[in-house]
Chains A and B, each alone.
Chain A
Amino acid sequence: MALNASRNDLASGAIFVALGGYFALEALRYEFGTPFRMGPGFMPVVLGGILVALGVAVAAKGMGKPDAEAPAPWPWRGILLVLGTILFFAATIRGLGFVPVVLISGLATALSSSRNSLLSALVISVGLCVLCMLIFVVGLGLLVPWIGPWLRF
């Protein structure tokens, strides 16, 4: 698709507009107050408005100026596995416990690099698990069960 505008500028402008719009609209539900006694909604409404305006300006500036470089390929595998791992970690650290969660997380993140084979990913995850256990649980006394309640019989 031939697009006579900077993709980067349009996209970042859109992010600014979306986030600024969210903050401003949500903040309209809070008390606005007066300049003398500003309410909780004052700053977010003003700043949200500014952000929307900046977003529009960024997008407008990108019009007629296509990006010089072709965009880098999206690291889908990395995005999926790295973010998935973080979400998995948050969801299961209480239930599964430290050892299983760290093992699985380490394995999954290592696999997000196309340069890791299954074997090297396994080695990395076991190594990291031992390292993290030594640093955080033994060294710093992090209070978290090694094996969580979901796995106990």
Chain B
Amino acid sequence: MDLISSLALGFSVALDPINILYCFIGVLLGTLVGVLPGIGPTATIAMLLPITFSLNAETALIMLAGIYYGAQYGGSTTAILINLPGESSAAVTAIDGYQMARQGRAGPALAAAAIGSFFAGSVATLLLAFFAPPLARAALNFGAPEYFSLIVLGLLVSIALAHGSILKALGMIVLGLLLGMVGQDIYTGTPRFTFGVRELFGGLNFVAVAVGVFGVAEILRNLENEKEREVGVTVVKNLWLTRDDVKRVIAPILRGTVLGSVLGVLPGGGHILSAFASYSAEKRLSKTPEQFGHGAIEGVAGPESANNAAAQTSFIPLMTLGIPAHPVMALMIGAFILQGITPGPNVINEQPALFWGIIASMWVGNLLLVILNLPLVGLWVKMLSIPYRVLFPAIVLFACIGTFSINQNIYDIYAIAFFGILGYLLIRFGCEPAPLLLGFVLGPLLEEHLRRAMIISRGDPMIFLHRPISATLLGLALLAVIIAVLPSIRKKRTEVFVEDD
């Protein structure tokens, strides 16, 4: 069938020695930033975007994708060993993983997480390969009204999944949309909000905004209360699962994979939600729910499988529609654009080598991750003892130099400082930064499609309701908001996100 020849093409790209090397670098870096709390994949990918400019498109995207799913693996190591989620989606893993580590079972906990992640990642990648092509074909029929509705859906779902106040999340999205409008108007060329600065005519630099809001703001946040991390477990031995463990983890891994694959497609942070959903499902289905919270291996295997599956399937909306499911995917869009490729349904036909190469590289990357994570766990434990006071000057400098190297534009660096302080203030006052970045990326698209749709309909907004696909998407968006506002769900959301970040 087509799929087989497509995958063969993909593997011929992914198994190219250069691409394997960069895939390895990607997953290694991803694991590294996943392990280290205080720096996540979003900031890392933002900083590395400029570097990838000199690589060719396949290699660059394979590496960036590797950073993202690599961070999901790394985050679990930190969660298990020091009860601190290195990456937000690993928060759930910390609950039982850390308890296992305290009981001297850190080895089996890490092994269960790695095996679950590997299995889930491989299966979810297969799903991606299966479902992306038909979805992309369907998306080719999308006109401006459908795209507009789809973007609205994406933005609103991201609120439902963000934690904290819904009003604030909405505000952050709108602020992001507005920031996305800085620069020349696409239809008339009028410069907007540029203060007459020529360098701003092309719009705010995406990397500068991302690095400011996620990198610098996070550093300022950490400088509020400086405390050193404590590494409770310094030696990890006995990575093998016992026969009993194996029996206990199989079902949670399978269920976690299914849950994660489905929820990962949702915009706005499906990997966090899926980890939680898997945890509560396992707890409910377990014959011994009282063990949860006291070192149940199911509570590690399930959520870890779920968040890795979600990490892979969140590429589906990106690769087929050009719509990012969350900030990291928004950065991937930036990477595509930097390479001169417009992400969307056309990529699969115009750049088959790129499309299938990325998918195939995910298997390669997942395999590399298992090799990296289990035997090298001692190395990661050592990494955890690097003090933050050494780490953050490096982050600040890399951010400045990296951003400067894209366009040699010093206004981009001023923008980092501006968004650093703005992001810090907003985070301090309880606003989530992720919706802002999503709004920023989708703002120009939203405006373009809205204006085009209104021209098509001669100024009649009913066009969004008359076209069936568009109406359905808007209906789903409304549903997402209603669900988010309902009191019972609200309560659950607070529970989900207590330990977040």
Contact = CB atoms under 8 A, between A and B. Distances in A.
Given A30-B192, A35-B461, A105-B400, A44 B393 contact: no
Contacts, number: 197
A63 interface: no
A132 to B, nearest CB: 6
27 contacts: A8-B430, A16-B175, A30-B192, A36-B455, A37-B455, A40-B185, A42-B451, A43-B447, A43-B450, A47-B174, A54-B174, A73-B224, A77-B223, A79-B220, A82-B223, A82-B396, A83-B216, A86-B399, A86-B414, A86-B417, A89-B404, A90-B404, A90-B410, A90-B411, A93-B404, A93-B413, A136-B402
Interface residues of A, number: 73
Contacts of B454: 35-38
Contacts of B192: 26-27, 30, 40, 44
Contact of B429 (A15, A39, A83, A115): A15
A71 B400 CA distance: 30
A78 B224 CA distance: 8
A51 B394 contact: no
Contacts of B220: 75, 78-79, 82
A6 to B, nearest CB: 8
B183 to A, nearest CB: 11
Nearest to B420: A83
Interface of B, helix, strand, loop or mixed by DSSP:
helix
A126 to B, nearest CB: 11
Interface string A119-149: 0100011001001100010001111100000
Contact of A54 (B170, B181, B226, B402): B170
Given A79-B421, A90-B417, A144-B404, 17 more contacts: A16-B175, A19-B178, A20-B174, A20-B175, A26-B192, A37-B454, A43-B447, A43-B451, A44-B178, A44-B181, A47-B177, A78-B220, A82-B219, A94-B410, A105-B397, A109-B392, A140-B54
A36 B226 CA distance: 55
Interface in A1-32: 7-9, 11-12, 15-16, 19-20, 23, 26-27, 30-31
